[in-house]
Amino acid sequence: MQLTGKVALVTGSTSGIGLGIAQQLAQQGATVILNGFGDVEQAKALIAATGAEGDYHAADMSDPQQIATMIAWIEEKYGALDILVNNAGIQYTAPVEQFPVERWDAIIAINLSSVFHTSRAALPGMQARGWGRIINIASVHGLVASKEKSAYVAAKHGVVGLTKVIALENAQSPITCNAICPGWVLTPLVQQQIDKRIAAGEDPEAARLALLSEKQPAQAFVTPEQLGALVLFLCSEGGAQVRGAAWNMDGGWLAQ
Ligand code: NAD
């Protein structure tokens, strides 16, 4: 039980990657605060099944005030926030000239600005207590681009840059900040892109394979469990000098 006594917040953890990471942190004994708009009761039950303490806060990650309130609530109720996993994210695809302005604003707010707001609120407590881990779930799209994903690619590149700044500002302390850059993971966010292909006439299995074979040489999805294992490593003493990394776990996507 590597993380007994630690308090972790995983934003956007009611489904997909965030929920997988939350479960692994809980399995290592951390108290885990869930957040997000999915099935809260189911997510809480999965944390309870590990035997760890779990809680939930409904902060909207597009709202800086709600983010500040959530971090203050965690520190007040649990005495600390030791591990911050910035995972909440949304996607929208369209060419730049057709990209709705309100979708651009929402993606920048949720996928990028929220990482600044959570970190800004959590760092003083980590610095006062002398330990912390900030782990940002970026994407391969933090390092390379794909067409029709202007807001997402811009936000994720921003997350990788912000990660490096936070890592440098805390480099002489036991507080690290790193980004994880997944390739395709089969979650509701990606299913929505497969569904778009199915709606355009592709057969469901062909749509899944086409999505994978365009980018991911493994032709298999990365799993939330595999990403959770990397989060645990970054939280461990073995990860203590990994600082400012953008660590891809992508089935070979970036090796091409
Ligand atoms: P998902 O849709 O399953 O989960 C997203 C989570 O964010 C959900 O819990 C949702 O309720 C929450 N969320 C959305 N808007 C929110 C808001 N305003 N406030 C609070 N919570 C909000 O998606 P996922 O695939 O698990 O994505 C998780 C992260 O991983 C995202 O940042 C995404 O960009 C990144 N990512 C995903 C993939 C992939 O292939 N699925 C690849 C690379 C990176």
- The span from the CA of 74 to the CA of 58, in Å, is 12
- The span from the CA of 128 to the CA of 95, in Å, is 45
Which atom number of ligand 1 is nearest to the Cα of residue 222? 40
- The span from the CA of 40 to the CA of 164, in Å, is 32
Instruction: Measure 172 CA to ligand 1 centroid, in angstroms.
Output: 31
Q: Which two tokens stand for residue 208?
A: 């899944």
pLDDT at residue 41 in the model: 97
- The span from the CA of 37 to the CA of 152, in Å, is 20
Which atom number of ligand 1 is nearest to the Cα of residue 140? 43
Segment 237-248 shows an average pLDDT of 98
**Sign of the C-alpha dihedral, residues 20, 231, 163, 166?**
positive
Residue 18 beta carbon below 6 angstroms from any ligand 1 atom = yes
Give the chain's mean pLDDT: 97
**Sign of the C-alpha dihedral, residues 68, 72, 78, 84?**
positive
pLDDT at residue 242 in the model: 98
With bands split at pLDDT 50, 70 and 90, how would you rate the model's confidence at 204?
A: very high
Instruction: Measure 213 CA to ligand 1 centroid, in angstroms.
Output: 22
- The span from the CA of 65 to the CA of 72, in Å, is 11
Hey, whose CA ends up nearest to atom 6 of ligand 1?
12
pLDDT tens-digit readout, 219-234: 999 999 999 999 999 9
Which atom number of ligand 1 is nearest to the Cα of residue 111? 32
Burial status of residue 47 (CB atoms within 10 A of its CB: 0-12, 13-18, 19 or more): buried
Residue 36 beta carbon below 6 angstroms from any ligand 1 atom = yes
Please determine, for residue 57, whether its predicted confidence score (pLDDT) is greater than 80: yes
Pairing status of strand 31-34 against strand 7-10: parallel
Please confirm, yes or no, whether 92 is among the known catalytic residues. no
pLDDT tens-digit readout, 92-150: 999 999 999 999 999 999 999 999 999 999 999 999 999 999 999 999 999 999 999 99
Q: What is the pTM of this model?
A: 0.98
pLDDT at residue 189 in the model: 85
Residue 189 beta carbon below 6 angstroms from any ligand 1 atom = yes
> What is the DSSP code string of 113-149?
IHHHHHHHHHHHHHHHHT-EEEEEE--GGGTS--TTB
Question: Going edge to edge, which strands form the sheet with 54-56?
Answer: 54-56, 31-34, 7-10, 83-86, 132-137, 175-182, 246-249
pLDDT at residue 1 in the model: 75
pLDDT tens-digit readout, 137-190: 999 999 999 999 999 999 999 999 999 999 999 999 999 999 999 999 999 889
Q: State the angle between helix axes of 204-215 and 188-199 in degrees (0 to 180), rounded to the nearest 10.
A: 120
Residue 184 beta carbon below 6 angstroms from any ligand 1 atom = yes
Chain centre distance of CA 112:
11
Q: Which two tokens stand for residue 106?
A: 């929402």
CATH (one of 3.90.1170.20, 3.40.50.720, 3.60.150.10, 3.40.640.10) for 7-184+223-255: 3.40.50.720
